[in-house]
Amino acid sequence: MPDMAHLGLFLAASVVLLLTPGPAVLFIVARSIAQGRTAGLVSVLGIHLGTIVHITAAAIGLSALLMSSALAFSAVKYLGAVYLIWMGLRTLLARQTQFEAATPPAEPLARVFRDGFVVNLFNPKTAIFFLAFLPQFVDPARGALHWQILGLGLTFMGLGMITDGMFALAAGAAGEFLRRNLRFLQFQRWFAGTSFIGLGLTAALVTRK
């Protein structure tokens, strides 16, 4: 781990980045509004299980391989984009009767967890982020680089679980009120569906730069 001064800078930068809404936060908020706080927190767990994969990859150098291989980058990018767009279309095309009840049917939590994991696993921006951000706080004089990257990555993930959990709880609390409004159910479906499609299109347009 870096010295205390650099560790403090790392923690401050991490919190600022985590509080800036991105694809993961939008995914969590959409799930929390649709199904409540429990589903939101489950999606947080799924997303950060995907984060562990990216941290491990960064620690052993696979992120560098991903950046150096146009084919590998494109494969990850488009798989993630297709999955997100498919989720959005599935939401938008759901049967109308599902949104006429005061409490729409909830998806199984196992599926919510899986969706969160897959969304973050196939998000090339996450791999690029760890490749660009973590090495700035690594010091070769302080020991093996892969252990430093792993430690910093897990620290970032822990902070992310806290901030993402706050987003899930806040959106879930608001969702309990909003789901009682039948008009909002239509808006919720539109919001969730278009958010997923938008995230998919964003992922598809990511450049290797």
pLDDT in tens, 109-138: 899 999 899 888 887 667 777 776 777 777
pLDDT of 99 reads 42
1 is a domain residue: no
| 167 assigned to some structural domain | yes
Residue 42 lies in a domain: yes
Residue 161: CB partners within 8 Å, gap ≥ 6?
Answer: 44, 45, 48
Give the span between the Cα atoms of 85 and 64, in whole angstroms.
Answer: 27
The pLDDT of residue 175 is 73
**CA-based angle 170:186:39, to the nearest 5?**
35
Give the chain's domain count: 1
Note whether residue 18 is domain-resident: no
Residue 169 falls inside a structural domain: yes
Query: Token match 């927190």: residue?
Result: 41
**Is 13 contained in some domain?**
no
Structural domain contains residue 115 = yes
Q: Which domain holds residue 171?
A: 23-204
Please give the Cα distance from 136 to 147 (Å, whole number): 14
Q: 52 with 157: CB under 8 angstroms?
A: yes
The span from the CA of 66 to the CA of 197, in Å, is 24
- Reported as a pLDDT band with limits 50, 70 and 90, residue 139 is confident
Task: Using the CB atoms, write b or e for 184-203: b if 16+ within 10 Å.
Answer: bbeebbebbbebbbebbebb
Domain contains 165: yes
